[in-house]
Structure 1
Amino acid sequence: MNTLIVYATKHGCSETCAKMLSKDLTGNIELFNLKDAKIPVLTKYDRVIIGGSIHMGKIQKEVQFFCIQNMEMLMNKKIGLFVCGMLFEKAHEELNNSFPNELLTQAIAKEFFGGQYRFDKMNYFDRLIVKKVAKVNNDFSQIKDENIKQFADLMNSDC
């Protein structure tokens, strides 16, 4: 089975989670950062996993654009959807607001993978906001390994 994991990341958390996920999936796995280059041809993939991080309550525009532009093709694939972020109390809401309803209905796996603060990847403004709002001054990770593993198990199943 060929799987494509497409994601967008601002500070690297979605990429970290996508790589962790790829290790738990069966078959041939390809990772693709939507901010890097031209989107690969989807016809060669059986499964497509789409994810990104939440900033200011929204997923990156590259993820939204990918979903809209490829909706017809995606509806014929085994779909998985994930988001990364630090607001655990809003995780379900953010996931549901990040993707079109058609994909949410089609998805075999939908999950919140947690998040992290990586100060080395942030610009001055982002660091300032995190320090003021989250009251965090150092790198900090709350990536949920168990959520990634459960997601992979669902995607690997024959449903």
Structure 2
Amino acid sequence: MKNILIIFSTVHGQTRKITNQLAGQLKDLGNSVVIADIKSAPALDSFDKIIIGASIRHGKHNPALYEFIQQHEKQLTEKVNGFFSVSLVARKPEKNTPETNPYMQAFLTKTTWRPQLLQVFGGNLNYQGYNTIDRNIIRFIMWITKGPTDAATNVEYTDWQKVNDFGLRIHQA
């Protein structure tokens, strides 16, 4: 049994939902799992594995993600570690791997941390869950990228089998 910490940064909740799925799977596999928001993460010393998940908002990860990594990079590299990014652009087959996802590539250029496990997941598009400004910005981005623009759209692009496969990789690492 391993002690695993999954830290998340989310805006509209999809990264938290993915974190919950990973935690449930890892617990079912016999691990002890703690999940925490990046702003209230516990001390890292007692964990064998640390996974961080973060969503994209308006083309960027939350600055708190980079601050956390900078403060804890030494501890992160001493443990089995991983990172996953959640975005709507990952809904596209040509942008849904760590190597092809522009947000994952941008993340890797902005930090010296090199996670051992990397993954990207499609997010959730729910126009009714956004405030007016976000709804209009995201609709415009979707129009440019040929995604759905109907204001009633609520589509979950997360590939749950891919999430489970990542969970298995975490377990086996």
The two structures have a TM-score, normalised by structure 2, of: 0.80
Contact 1:51 / 1:63 at 8 angstroms: preserved in 2?
no
Hey, what's the Cα distance between the residues in 2 that align with 1:96 and 1:82? 12
In 2: Cα distance, 1:79 partner to 1:102 partner: 14
Measure the CA separation in 1 of the matches of 2:141 and 2:63. 24
Deviation at 1:19, TM superposition (A): 0.7
Given residue 35 of structure 2, which amino acid in structure 1 is its aligned partner?
L
Identity %: 23
Of structures 1 and 2, the one with the larger relative CO (CA 8 A, separation 6+) is 1
Aligned to 2:145: none
Gaps of at least 5 residues in structure 2 are 143-148
Residue among 113, 125, 130 paired with 1:117 = 125
TM-score by length of 1: 0.87
**How far apart in 2 are the matches of 1:31 and 1:48?**
10
RMSD: 1.8
Q: Which residue of 2 aligns with 1:50?
A: 52
Aligned residues: 154
Which structure 1 residue ranges, 5 or more long, are not aligned? none
Paired residue for 2:160, among 121, 145, 149?
Answer: 145
CA distance in 1, matches of 2:111, 2:140: 35
Match of 2:107 in 1: 98
SS across alignment from 2:119 = strand
One of 19, 29, 32 as aligned partner of 1:28: 32
Q: Which residue of 2 aligns with 1:17?
A: 18
